Amino acid sequence: MRTCGIEIKGSEAIICLMTLKNGLFDLPDCRQNRFALSKDQDQEQMRHFQFTFAKFIEDYQITQLVIKERPQKGKFAGGAVGFKIEAALQLIAGCNCHLISASELKEKLKRHPIPVDFKATGLKVFQETAFLTAYAFLAK
Single-letter residue type at 80? A
pTM (predicted TM-score) = 0.92
- Phi, psi (degrees; rounded to nearest 5) at 98: -130, 135
Give the residue extent of every domain in the chain.
Answer: 2-138
Predicted local confidence at residue 57, as pLDDT? 96
How many C-beta neighbours within 10 Å does residue 105 have? Answer: 19
Say if CB 66 and CB 100 are below 8 A apart. Answer: yes
Predicted local confidence at residue 49, as pLDDT? 96
How many C-beta neighbours within 10 Å does residue 26 have? Answer: 10
CATH class of 2-138: alpha beta
Mean of pLDDT values over 105-121: 93
- The per-residue pLDDT for range 37-91, each reduced to its tens digit, is 988 899 999 999 999 999 999 999 999 999 999 888 888 777 889 999 999 999 9
Based on the number of CB atoms within 10 Å of its own CB, is 110 exposed (0-12), middle (13-18) or buried (19 or more)?
A: exposed
